Copies of this chain bind each other. A is one copy, B any other.
Amino acid sequence: MASNGSNGVSHAPEGNSAKPAHRFDPDFTQLVIDTMGPNTTPRNRVVLGALIRHLHDFTREVELTIDEWMTGVHFVNAVGQIYTKSRNEAHRVSDILGLESLVDEIAHKVIAENGDIDPTSSSILGPFWSPNAPFRELGGSIIQDGVPEGGRVTKMHGVIRDMTTGKPIPGAVFDIWQASANGKYDFQDPENQTANNLRGKFRANEKGEYYFYCLHPTAYSLPTDGPAYTLLKAMDRHPMRPAHIHIMVTHPDYQGCTTQLYPKDDPWLVTDTVFAVKPDLIADFKPLEGDDKAVLELEYNVVLAPKGYKSKA
């Protein structure tokens, strides 16, 4: 018998079809999706149905080969095999594909309206935040273990304001964490750092001001001994993150802002391997004179959206 139309040849319908023609079974993807049973939750049906559709569209578009598919299978197995409590490789892989940055944008994007001030952009949390950072006094220091070799002490300060009124937000909590001059966070570096070194929470005063001492941050590389780096090499990409300071600013009446700040002269800003840089997060570390505790100064003002501010355009 000769082949017929149901045997894998598909043509796009006339007119404004969004799909390209392809020569494969046009019913296969819908068959897979429709196998979902009646007790699938509505959200699972939406998310997993879309996942299957995009996965199949990708596979047909590039005509993925058997060997390439098997490379992907081995890759996913390898990602999980290197997992430990302090090494989340799947998280890292999703970061280098831009996925965490994208879900962060989806979750936290606030668009200012009616002349309100743009709130401070959100950025990814990353895997190194700790819920155990101690409160410290305004004017104190997060440099608990002394200044490391190559460390440049910075006086950081600013005002936390309301995007709708421009007024300060007294009592807002400014949580900061950063890697040391060797590019490692406290719990990656137990030989050199005590718990909560370079971490701390500060409560803004009645003027919405915060100020404390920290380090000028240091650029560092993602680990280069696992599948995430294998993927980076396949894309001829470097594993560097620009130098950054993590902050999480919260207040009961406001939408919290988790983000990262970057020195404006960092060479990795444009090609940050996890795509977490946004223009308003690039900050200017300036030489500081007259303060015997610090050689640099960073002023950074934070703008928060009130809870319930319409966040979806």
Number of this chain's copies in the complex: 2
Interface of chain A residues 80 through 117 with chain B (CB within 8 A): 80-83, 88-91, 93-94, 97-107, 109, 111-113, 115-117
**Cβ–Cβ contact B275 & A97, under 8 A:** no
CB–CB B48/A58 < 8 A: no
Residues of chain B within 8 A (CB-CB) of A147 are: none
Contact assessment for A54 and B47 in the assembled complex, using a CB-CB cutoff below 8 Å: no
A97 partner residues in chain B, CB cutoff 8 A: 32, 51-52, 55
Contacts of A31 in B (CB 8 A): 98, 275
Of chain B, the residue at the smallest CB distance from A235 is B36
CB pair A39–B7 under 8 Å, yes or no, is no
Check B80–A77 contact: CB distance below 8 A.
yes
A115 to B64, CA, bound (A): 29
**Which range holds the interface residue count of chain A?**
35 or more
* CB-CB under 8 A for A98 and B28, given A54-B55, A61-B50, A115-B2: yes
| Binding stretch for chain B, among A65-73, A186-194, A210-218, A291-299 | A65-73
Closest 6 CB pairs of A and B: A80-B80, A37-B236, A32-B98, A76-B90, A54-B58, A39-B236
One of A17-25, A129-137, A148-156, A201-209 at the interface: A17-25
Is there an interface contact between B44 and A72, defined as CB atoms closer than 8 Å?
Answer: no
State whether A103 and B64 are in contact (beta carbons under 8 Å apart), knowing that A48-B235, A88-B73 are contacts in the complex: yes
